[in-house]
Structure 1
Amino acid sequence: MLYKTKIKGQDGYVYILMEHKSYIEGKVIFQLLRYITSIWEEKYDPKTKKVPIIIPIVIYHGREVWNVETNLSNMVQGIEDLPDELKTYLPTYRYEICDFSIKGKKRIIGLTATKVALEAMRAGTAMTEKEFKERLAIVFAYINQLPEEQVHEWFEGCMIYLLNVREDITIEDILKVQKEIMPGRGEIVMTIAEKLRNEGKLEGKLEGKLEERKELIIEILNQRFGKDIDKKLEEKIRKANEETINQIKKNILSITIEELKELLK
């Protein structure tokens, strides 16, 4: 995956190249280098005769701790005995390894956008519900630090990613954490939820058990209408029959508060 972002003090964009590995790959450093040169060929600016900065990162979530060399020059045979004037002819390049293995304990530092992506992947591999929610809270806290024009894109990307990689979470789980960490951004959530529904991603999440569907509907309606959804209305939704719930579900992103009250009479 290739992400484009900005770094303070840089005139142009910086690219973050992420390669996922679920197993230890000794030659990944060459694979990344091929990717980098390919991107440079594409992004080469004939006017300035420059190429962009590319930061290569390996995201690893295998069973064992990553034990592969991350610096290309260290892989050159006999480099420690070469005089400095010969070392200048050798390529120098390294990649960052983010070890998400059970035994690895990597602390993420650097660009906020990088932190968002990596913490989202950590949330995707969390072993317990408690750990997932803790990781998700960190993701949203970092998203809140991004420039305003990037918030929607990153929130949507993380939401889609987590719903795709985890079968044990619902949009409701994500919204509960989002509501605590990112208050006042309900409009972003509803825009994204509508997009996911149009793509068929939200519909599947609303096909669970009836009681679960009711709670998810309440959560989404709270995001849409805020204080207009009071406790009495919430209780009416919880007591509604399956036919009524299905009608609300079908129109959850377009239903008005008046229509909702009429359905729940």
Structure 2
Amino acid sequence: MADPPNNPHDAYFRHVLAKPANAAGELQAVLPPAVSARVDWGALELQPCSFVTPELRSRFSDLLFRTRLAGHDAFIYVLVEHQSQPHPLMPFRMLEYMVRIWNHYIDDHPKTDTLPVVIPMVVYASPNGRRWNKPTELADLISIDPGGRTALGDYLPNLRFLLDDLAAVDVPALLTRKLTPEARVMLVLLKRAQGNRHLDKDLTLLLDDFGAMLAASGGKAELVCALTYILIVGETSESDLGSVIGQLGPQAREAIMTTADRLRAEGEARGEARGEAKSEAKWRAQALVEQLSEKFGTLTAETVATVRSATPERLRVWSARILTASSLDEVFQ
């Protein structure tokens, strides 16, 4: 969270739940007690891999934990969805990721003749409070008449994922979960922070957790991480935040001011960088138009418009091709 990421939800979720102690409380709050009792929580270990493709990471984030389940290798796969509507094919998506996890396991254990348990779990954080209203079972996605479903029986795939629908859990209920302060703050903020102009009311309920975070080793950095998320996705004024968080003392007040100042400075820097990039692209486009005209003669208005609307990467490719191209088609192919 040192820099405002393209997807702050992903960055904040990963930063907090990547720590096994934080993840354990959230997982135990959702897993059935009979399953939770069989998990070796002391062996919980984050795996350095992700199964969500880059183009989907604006909507989904995932974490894979390895552990032991009644003495056997096991994995717990956690995917968080942060968009206004739940993905309608989520059971299929989870099956797809589970197969990738098993393939990854087979690559690491080429002589294995068994597969480990993979427990799938989805944390759903809707920014507008809309509850999950899509299937959580793979069988419900199969388009078939009731008679055919009965006839096929066990030949239809059977998979259900665990769901933690934050929209269906109110803040007081989240506060009663046996979570670490970091995890509790993170879940409440995922539920309430985005676009919220009055987040100070919720933050008042989290003062004890913020205080515990600040008192722990490295706690100021964790507070800054939470404040960064709040200031990026929320709309509560800095003064309203200060009136609540400032109650924790001078360290907290300093954290608010320095975080807000840093984000403003970074925003200005990104704006300047975008302006410089736009200026460079305009210069490259004009240079390429002149080169094309010199080599191939007068250009059509359509060709000029194509060049001027191109991305900087495309302009660089075309500028290199013009050295050997014998026609406009060879440049733009």
The two structures have a TM-score, normalised by structure 1, of 0.51
> How far did 1:67 drift?
2.0
Amino acid in structure 2 at the alignment position of 1:115: R
> In structure 2, how many angstroms separate the alpha carbons of the residues matched to 1:192 and 1:184?
14
> In structure 1, how many angstroms separate the alpha carbons of the residues matched to 2:221 and 2:190?
16
> How far did 1:27 drift?
2.0
Amino acid in structure 2 at the alignment position of 1:6: P
2:188 — aligned with what?
A: 119
> How far did 1:41 drift?
6.5
2:45 — aligned with what?
A: 13
* Cα separation, partners in 2 of 1:159 and 1:69, compared to 1, 3 Å: same
1:138 paired to 2:205: yes
2:243 — aligned with what?
A: 176
Which residue of 27, 35, 49 corresponds with 2:89?
27
Aligned 8 A contact 2:82 2:125 in 1: yes
The structure 1 segments of at least 4 consecutive aligned residues displaced by more than 6 Å after TM superposition are: 39-45, 47-54, 77-80
> In structure 2, how many angstroms separate the alpha carbons of the residues matched to 1:160 and 1:177?
16
The 5-angstrom pairing of residues 224-239 of structure 1 reads none
How many residues were matched structurally?
195
Question: C-alpha root-mean-square deviation of aligned residues, in Å?
Answer: 4.7
The 5-angstrom pairing of residues 1-265 of structure 1 reads 1=10, 3=14, 4-7=18-21, 9-13=41-45, 15=63, 16-34=78-96, 46=108, 55-62=121-128, 64-72=130-138, 75=141, 86=154, 90-99=158-167, 105=170, 107-108=173-174, 109=177, 111-112=179-180, 113-125=182-194, 129=198, 132-145=199-212, 148-149=216-217, 151-170=219-238, 172-180=239-247, 182-183=248-249, 185-186=251-252, 192=259, 195-196=262-263, 199-200=266-267
> In structure 2, how many angstroms separate the alpha carbons of the residues matched to 1:74 and 1:64?
21
Amino acid in structure 2 at the alignment position of 1:10: G
Q: Tell me the secondary structure at the aligned position of residue 156 of structure 1.
A: helix
> In structure 2, how many angstroms separate the alpha carbons of the residues matched to 1:96 and 1:21?
14
Higher RCO structure, 1 or 2 (CA under 8 Å, sep 6+): 2
Amino acid in structure 1 at the alignment position of 2:234: R
> How far did 1:59 drift?
0.8
Q: Percent identity?
A: 19
Amino acid in structure 1 at the alignment position of 2:203: L
Aligned 8 A contact 1:13 1:52 in 2: no
Aligned 8 A contact 2:81 2:124 in 1: yes
Aligned 8 A contact 1:159 1:174 in 2: no
| Cα deviation 1:9-67 (Å, max 9, x = unaligned) | 33233545321121344223434554566577779993799798764211113475432
Q: Tell me the secondary structure at the aligned position of residue 70 of structure 1.
A: coil
Asked which structure has the greater CA Rg, the reply is 2
> How far did 1:150 drift?
6.1
> In structure 1, how many angstroms separate the alpha carbons of the residues matched to 2:203 and 2:140?
37
> In structure 2, how many angstroms separate the alpha carbons of the residues matched to 1:173 and 1:44?
53
Which residues of structure 1 form unaligned runs of 5+?
202-265
Amino acid in structure 2 at the alignment position of 1:199: E
* Cα separation, partners in 2 of 1:65 and 1:28, compared to 1, 3 Å: same
2:51 — aligned with what?
A: none
> In structure 2, how many angstroms separate the alpha carbons of the residues matched to 1:53 and 1:173?
41
* Cα separation, partners in 2 of 1:24 and 1:18, compared to 1, 3 Å: closer
Q: Tell me the secondary structure at the aligned position of residue 10 of structure 1.
A: helix
Aligned 8 A contact 1:58 1:95 in 2: yes
* Cα separation, partners in 2 of 1:27 and 1:191, compared to 1, 3 Å: same
> How far did 1:175 drift?
2.5
The two structures have a TM-score, normalised by structure 2, of 0.43
> In structure 2, how many angstroms separate the alpha carbons of the residues matched to 1:26 and 1:148?
41
The 10-residue stretch of structure 1 (89-98 or 145-154) with the greater mean CA deviation from structure 2? 145-154
